[in-house]
Structure 1
Amino acid sequence: MLKNPDSRLNLANAASPFKSTRTSAPEQGRVMRQYLSDFLQRLASGTQVIRRPPAGNDTLARGEGHFHLAPELFLQVSGSTQFRFGDASLLLEPGQVLILPPRVLHAERIPSQDAASPFRNVVIYAEGTALTCHLAHEIEPGRPGILHLEARLHPQAPHIHNWLSDAARSGATSAATDATTSWANTQTRALIAAATAGVLQALDDADTEARPEPPLVARARVLIKNQLGDQQLSVRGLAEQSNCTADYLSHVFRQTTGEHLAAFITRLRMERAARLLQDPTLAGKEIAWACGYTTQSYFIRTFRSHFGMTPKDWRSSNVEPA
């Protein structure tokens, strides 16, 4: 539990409004913002504990879990999260923050929790002009899921992405400790504080021109990004996770975005492939796996259909030799 006796910063106790998952969306949004504000106060005070993945887990690898091409920020409110990074692990405890660099394969599980302090964390992700911030809870024993999600297309998103990217790099070569005197830790806290403040500003910006998407569509986007490398990802599976039929999910997604859901998944996989092909150290079969394809031949056919050339030719045309 947190050592700070100030009740305003006792994030574990702040979880009490969510003892029932039937809490209204506006109330969930209000409490999520309060969690962000509480973490921001701790960052400003210099007492916030910031964790990083274990050393040696900063490259794309095959194994359990998923990865993103942008950094993620996990704010552990109550309960704890067990992260797996290949053969290494990290336990994120109440009140701690984890900054996760891009391309780090990770899996999340929830250890047994005290019923008085249920699992809650806030996850922040920004890529391009898109920002998502969600509050997670335990949807079944050991498995986290989305309790409340807010997504924005906002001019703050690129800044949040850059601040988190810089925070992920800041002090990354030094051993992970809780020392508060190092300049690297001070800089990391400042960058994460800027990102958190940016999220709060974006969430509360009533002047944004972006029309909110239906929650079903916004949630599907997050699920797809988290499962993009999963060979079992399908419209039917997404519908099961969304408690609706595949036909209904596809209809709402197309009506909202103008794009077929299956085509959207393929497009995101191809965009990921193109970005990974820019790294000359990655072999084609590694990229195929990272994009959710069971065989390299199927990946090549899909890539050629999308870009009009093979991955090898695309790399030759777009990437300068190392």
Structure 2
Amino acid sequence: MISLAKDIERVVASLRAGRLKVRVPRSSDLFRWKPRSFFHPYPELFIQTGGATDFDCPSESFRLRTWEVCVMPTGVPHAEKPIDLKTPFGTIVFMRARDGFFLHRGLGAPDGTIHGAQAEHLVSSRGRSAFRYLEEMSASVAEKHRSGFRHSLLEVFLVTILGELHRPSGGIASRSPLIAEAEKLARTLLGNPELAVAGIASTLGCSADYLSRRFHEERGMTLGAWITRERLEMARDLLSEPRHSVAEIGWMCGFSSPSYFIRVFRQQTGFTPRAWREAANS
């Protein structure tokens, strides 16, 4: 399989040559769960490496074709349908992890879903700043400057990723295919209050007990505990900025009610979310 770095380098070359098509859907119906759709508290980047993806967003639907790029803004609900064309469906998805970057290569499955074939967790202190470049790509900019503005931000993001991939230490924490796919599914659904180990196991074709045991062997904690940790790390990050209320952050991070969010947050940190925010910003 072609390395992730090779595919990213191809996109950078196309970008610098002025040939790359970049799609940025309009922000609409933010952070609302819809059937077969997902949203995330950070932007995502999709590189189409084969076939196409039919995206369905609240404000528009479009087809992302081979070697085109889509930046999905924060909070935009979107459904994805894999399409085989002259080449089989293939995509690379870039997501923000609490400690860096999470990249996975997606392939089409016979049942019409997308499954991960290659995943990399890049541990890096540059993750937070890098995803701000993607965040800025949905900013309002005069039409005559928009393309250059977006392409410049995208190039900085991709070059940052390449730098992390080429670091001598690698910066990569590899997982077995099963655990990598479990993490990918969990990250995709962190904002869904109905996310459960049993559902992830069913999607992966194994029992919840087997998945939990394998996850604990590799990660040193149960999958349920890992999900809670990731949600709370996401919440702490969002609390450091004033854009969202405590209730909104709890909802975005997959907690079914504000009271449940506050209770779990206090159990794990010793602070209420509001007290954490005040201390972080003092």
Number of equivalent positions: 280
Are residues 1:86 and 2:58 paired?
Answer: yes
CA distance in 2, matches of 1:287, 1:220: 24
User: Which residue of the other structure, out of 261, 266, 270, is the alignment partner of 1:308?
Assistant: 270
TM-score (norm 2): 0.82
Cα 1:294/1:185, change in 2 over 3 Å: closer
SS at match of 1:305: helix
Are residues 1:286 and 2:248 paired?
Answer: yes
Cα 1:209/1:162, change in 2 over 3 Å: closer
Name the structure 2 match of 1:258: 220
- Consecutive unaligned residues of structure 2, counting only runs of 5 or more, are none
- Which segment drifts farther, 218-227 or 283-292? 283-292
Cα 1:175/1:187, change in 2 over 3 Å: same
CA offsets 1:172-203 (integer angstroms, 9 cap, x no match): 322678x89x642452353244145336525x
Name the structure 1 match of 2:114: 144
Q: CA deviation at 1:167?
A: 4.5
Q: CA deviation at 1:265?
A: 1.0
- Which segment drifts farther, 227-236 or 308-317? 308-317
Name the structure 2 match of 1:110: 81
Name the structure 2 match of 1:121: 91
SS at match of 1:110: strand
In the alignment, is the contact (CA less than 8 A) between 1:125 and 1:161 conserved in 2?
Answer: no
Name the structure 1 match of 2:17: 45
Q: CA deviation at 1:126?
A: 4.4
Are residues 1:230 and 2:192 paired?
Answer: yes
Q: CA deviation at 1:285?
A: 3.0
In the alignment, is the contact (CA less than 8 A) between 2:53 and 2:80 conserved in 1?
Answer: yes
Which of structures 1 and 2 has the bigger CA Rg? 1
In the alignment, is the contact (CA less than 8 A) between 2:190 and 2:231 conserved in 1?
Answer: yes
User: Which residue of the other structure, out of 198, 205, 220, is the alignment partner of 2:163?
Assistant: 198
CA distance in 1, matches of 2:185, 2:143: 30
Name the structure 2 match of 1:213: 175
TM-score (norm 1): 0.73
Cα 1:277/1:66, change in 2 over 3 Å: farther
CA distance in 1, matches of 2:164, 2:143: 26
CA distance in 1, matches of 2:172, 2:157: 25
CA distance in 2, matches of 1:200, 1:208: 6
Q: CA deviation at 1:236?
A: 0.9
- Consecutive unaligned residues of structure 1, counting only runs of 5 or more, are 1-27
SS at match of 2:109: strand
CA distance in 1, matches of 2:161, 2:216: 32
CA offsets 1:194-220 (integer angstroms, 9 cap, x no match): 145336525xx5x53756322222222
In the alignment, is the contact (CA less than 8 A) between 2:98 and 2:234 conserved in 1?
Answer: no
CA distance in 1, matches of 2:247, 2:54: 29
CA distance in 2, matches of 1:208, 1:119: 28
Q: CA deviation at 1:132?
A: 2.8
Name the structure 2 match of 1:95: 67
Are residues 1:172 and 2:139 paired?
Answer: yes
Name the structure 1 match of 2:7: 35
Q: CA deviation at 1:241?
A: 1.9
CA distance in 1, matches of 2:42, 2:172: 22
CA distance in 2, matches of 1:196, 1:208: 12
Amino acid of the structure 2 residue aligned with 1:106: P
In the alignment, is the contact (CA less than 8 A) between 1:83 and 1:90 conserved in 2?
Answer: yes
Please list, as runs of the form range in 1=range in 2, the aligned pairs for 1:53-64 lying within 5 A after superposition: 53-54=25-26, 56-57=27-28, 60-64=30-34
Amino acid of the structure 1 residue aligned with 2:280: N
- Which segment drifts farther, 251-260 or 292-301? 292-301
Name the structure 2 match of 1:21: none
In the alignment, is the contact (CA less than 8 A) between 2:51 and 2:88 conserved in 1?
Answer: yes
Cα 1:69/1:287, change in 2 over 3 Å: closer
C-alpha RMSD of the superposition: 3.2
